[in-house]
């Protein structure tokens, strides 16, 4: 299959139109109703834990993240998105693997919190990314409608835990805030950020900029961790 | 550009097609044709002489709408417009996401129009998986057998050719084909056309991508292989490029009212081309495409004029 796929250009692998993609988001929201209520409450609770009590909540945060990745893999990718994109089954597998890795990290981490309250630029960027993923991402269609993403409506809003993109965003934000976030846990997020960027770019959506930003943040994070584990930017 | 339709051939062609269309109407094989004026361009499949409408329909991207019921019904309307205008060849592939399933949904809603010429593909490097794909495709389309099965982008073509030849010999398939697009692997396509017994070949040909004129189209004519043309609008890029430009005055002479019709008439007037398969998700665009099958076809001189004009834009 890989050999068959590699014979195509990137554009050839965009299997659907923007109209179909955005409608599929709205249809998914319709199908999973009222899961959005639980997801919204979870977002508020997670925001409180990450921003208010990061030093003592790492296990709860890790479990919520694992559940979010598992839901996105199983319900969004494998059950829903695969109807228009056969790559989605592979994405679903990656998301389930990430959920397992997160659970493994939760069980393994016993001695101290992975989240820090340090005053560094990268930590601040992490907090901003978490806030963006939890509380701004779901409203992007309203903010961008008629400016950047023609045809988007509030029904297409993407909530953390139910949709891959905000789940990915929050996960990366948490990684940026943490002192010793396990690097293997960032491989799938980095890979999927790149996939989201390509998809958004091919759909002509300016949300591709978000994913470029996330990739840059992750690369800065990796560079920082490589040069000095405790280096603070200011 | 080696060979084009001369005026005498064109007159013969129009007379033959008018007669055939009238026969089809009388026989009731294409009942919806009664709504369309003649002449109606059909072209023969060289190996059997069976006439098929010169404009078919592709389903790449446009029919991949998943489980969205509203969009499925919208695509059914496109199919309805296609068959009402005398459409025949409908092309898909397992690569196109839910397209085959959505086509099957539409065909069922329309009670499987009699004019249907069903064409799909196998798209895998493995022979056994190819057999499974064909079985699945039959279920998705809701057909007992396909008119045409093609090997998509030459993936595992040697193995699939064995399967398809066996199916054809047993009367479970009418025609065998191979496909490529966007100028990929033309050398290999040429070799297969020269050495293997295939009925159809599908590749890209449009006013900007004209490489096929050099070798593939003349070879198809020589070998008696039917030609399906994909991406006639360069995935919409040609229309976007030309949309703001004026149609030439001479477009009226060949009954073209829009750029899509102009582009399609250029393609189907090539003597080696059997059928072009534009894809669309809109009823109005489908009707506009299908209207290309009426009126005057350009001759060799006119085709040269058409390409010269587009080259200046």
Q: pLDDT (tens digit, 9 = 90+) per residue, B166-180? A: 999 999 999 999 999
What is the residue-wise DSSP string for chain B?
------HHHHHHHHHHHHHHHHHHHHHTSSGGGGGSPSP--EEE-TTT--EEESB-B--TTTT--TT-HHHHHHHHHHHHHHHHTT--EEE--TTSTTHHHHHHHHHHHTT--TT-EEEEEE--S-HHHHHHHHHHHHHHHT-SS-SEEEEGGGTTHHHHHHHHHHHHHTTS-SEEEEE--TTTTHHHHHHHHHHS--SEEEEE--SS--GGGTTHHHHHHHHT-EEEEE-TTTTTHHHHHHTTSPPPGGGGGGT--SHHHHHHHHHHTSTT--EE----S-HHHHHHHHGGGSSPPP-HHHHHHHHHHHHH-
Residues of B in contact with A155 (CB under 8 A): none
- Pair of tokens at residue A30: 């319709």
The confidence score (pLDDT) of residue A178 equals 82
pLDDT digits (tens, 9 = 90+) for A174-224: 988 887 778 888 899 999 999 999 998 888 887 888 888 888 888 888 777
Question: How many domains, chain B?
Answer: 1
The confidence score (pLDDT) of residue B68 equals 95
Mean pLDDT of chain A: 84
> What residues of chain B, 117 to 176, have a C-beta less than 8 Å from chain A?
123-125, 153, 155
Check if A84 contacts B (Cβ < 8 Å): yes
The confidence score (pLDDT) of residue B280 equals 95
Q: Is residue B95 domain-resident?
A: yes
> Who wins on pLDDT, A182 or B256?
B256
Residues of B in contact with A89 (CB under 8 A): none
Q: Is residue B229 domain-resident?
A: yes
Q: Is residue B34 domain-resident?
A: no
Are the beta carbons of A7 and B182 separated by less than 8 Å?
A: no
Size of interface A-B (CB pairs under 8 A): 55
Residues of B in contact with A20 (CB under 8 A): 64-66, 68, 71
Confidence of residue A165 (pLDDT cuts 50, 70, 90): very high
* Window from A9-23, A102-116, B61-75, B220-234 with minimum mean pLDDT: A102-116
The confidence score (pLDDT) of residue A219 equals 85
The confidence score (pLDDT) of residue B28 equals 37
Q: Which of B15-19, B25-29, B105-109 has the highest mean pLDDT?
A: B105-109
* B256 vs B109: CA distance, rounded Å: 32
The confidence score (pLDDT) of residue A4 equals 63
Check if A199 contacts B (Cβ < 8 Å): no
The confidence score (pLDDT) of residue A6 equals 66
> Who wins on pLDDT, B23 or B66?
B66
Confidence of residue B303 (pLDDT cuts 50, 70, 90): very high
Q: Among B272, B194, B197, B271, which residue's Cα sits nearest to residue B8? A: B271
- Pair of tokens at residue B47: 């190996």
Residues of A in contact with B157 (CB under 8 A): none
Confidence of residue B309 (pLDDT cuts 50, 70, 90): very high
Q: Is residue B32 domain-resident?
A: no
Separation in Å, CA of B66 to nearest CA in chain A: 5
Respond yes or no on whether ipTM tops 0.90: no
pLDDT of B253 over the 80 cut: yes
Are the beta carbons of B68 and A27 separated by less than 8 Å?
A: yes
Q: Is residue B197 domain-resident?
A: yes
The HSE-up count of residue B236 (CA atoms within 13 Å, CB side) is 9
Q: Is residue B33 domain-resident?
A: no
The confidence score (pLDDT) of residue A118 equals 65
The confidence score (pLDDT) of residue B20 equals 45
CATH number of the domain residue B84 falls in: 3.20.20.100
The confidence score (pLDDT) of residue A12 equals 78
* Window from A104-118, A151-165, B247-261 with minimum mean pLDDT: A104-118
Check if B312 contacts A (Cβ < 8 Å): no
Q: Is residue B227 domain-resident?
A: yes
pLDDT of A133 over the 70 cut: yes
Residues of A in contact with B74 (CB under 8 A): none
Nearest to A83 among B66, B155, B235 (CB): B66
The confidence score (pLDDT) of residue A228 equals 53
The confidence score (pLDDT) of residue A16 equals 92
Confidence of residue A111 (pLDDT cuts 50, 70, 90): low
Q: Is residue B30 domain-resident?
A: no
The confidence score (pLDDT) of residue A146 equals 46
Nearest to B61 among A8, A16, A86 (CB): A16
Are the beta carbons of B68 and A20 separated by less than 8 Å?
A: yes
Please give the residue range of the domain that contains residue B263.
7-25+40-312
* A159 vs A163: CA distance, rounded Å: 6
Check if A89 contacts B (Cβ < 8 Å): no
């Amino acid at each position: 299959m890989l050999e068959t796929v590699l014979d195509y250009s990137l554009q050839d692998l965009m299997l659907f139109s923007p109209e179909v993609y955005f409608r599929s988001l709205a249809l998914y929201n319709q199908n999973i109703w009222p899961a959005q209520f639980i997801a919204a409450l979870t977002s508020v609770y997670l925001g409180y834990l990450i921003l208010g009590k990061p030093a003592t909540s790492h296990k709860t945060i890790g479990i919520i993240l694992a559940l979010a990745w598992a839901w996105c893999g199983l319900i969004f990718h494998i059950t829903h998105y695969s109807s228009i994109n056969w790559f989605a089954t592979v994405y679903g597998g990656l998301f389930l693997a990430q959920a397992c890795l997160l659970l493994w990290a939760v069980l393994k981490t016993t001695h101290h919190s992975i989240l820090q309250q340090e005053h560094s630029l990268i930590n601040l960027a992490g907090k901003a990314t978490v806030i963006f993923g939890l509380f701004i991402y779901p409203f992007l269609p309203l903010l961008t409608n008629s400016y950047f993403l023609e045809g988007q409506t509030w029904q297409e809003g993407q909530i953390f835990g139910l949709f891959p993109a905000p789940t990915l965003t929050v996960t990366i934000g948490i990684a940026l805030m943490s002192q010793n976030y396990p690097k293997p846990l960032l491989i799938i997020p980095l890979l999927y950020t790149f996939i989201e960027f390509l998809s958004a770019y091919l759909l002509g959506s300016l949300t591709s900029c978000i994913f470029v930003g996330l990739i840059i943040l992750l690369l800065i994070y990796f560079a920082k961790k490589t040069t000095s584990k405790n280096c603070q930017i200011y | 550009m080696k060979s084009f339709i001369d005026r005498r051939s064109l007159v013969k062609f129009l007379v033959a097609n008018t007669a055939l269309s009238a026969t089809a109407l009388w026989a009731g094989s294409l009942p919806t044709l009664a709504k369309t004026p003649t002449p109606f361009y059909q072209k023969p499949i060289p190996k059997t002489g069976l006439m098929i409408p010169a404009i078919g329909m592709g389903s790449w991207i446009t029919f991949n709408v998943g489980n969205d019921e509203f969009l499925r019904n919208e695509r059914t309307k496109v199919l309805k417009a296609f068959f009402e205008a005398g459409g025949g060849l409908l092309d898909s592939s397992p690569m196109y996401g839910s397209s085959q399933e959505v086509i099957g949904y539409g065909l069922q809603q329309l009670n499987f129009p009699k004019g249907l010429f069903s064409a799909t593909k196998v798209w895998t490097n493995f022979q056994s998986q190819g057999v499974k794909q064909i079985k699945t495709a039959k279920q998705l389309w809701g057909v007992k057998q396909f008119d045409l099965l093609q090997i998509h982008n030459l993936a595992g073509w040697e193995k699939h050719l064995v399967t398809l030849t066996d199916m054809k010999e047993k009367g479970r398939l009418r025609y065998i084909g191979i496909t490529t697009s966007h100028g990929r692997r033309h050398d290999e396509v040429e070799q297969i056309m020269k050495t293997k017994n295939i009925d159809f070949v599908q590749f890209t040909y449009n006013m900007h991508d004209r490489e096929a004129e050099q070798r593939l189209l003349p070879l198809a004519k020589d070998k008696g292989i039917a030609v399906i043309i994909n991406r006639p609008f360069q995935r919409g890029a040609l229309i976007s490029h030309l949309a703001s430009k004026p149609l030439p005055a001479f477009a009226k002479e060949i009954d073209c009212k829009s750029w899509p019709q102009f582009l399609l008439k250029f393609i189907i007037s090539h003597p080696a081309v059997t059928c072009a398969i534009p894809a669309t998700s809109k009823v109005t665009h489908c009707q506009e495409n299908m209207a290309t099958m009426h009126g005057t076809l350009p001759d060799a001189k006119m085709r040269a004029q058409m390409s010269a004009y587009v080259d200046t834009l």
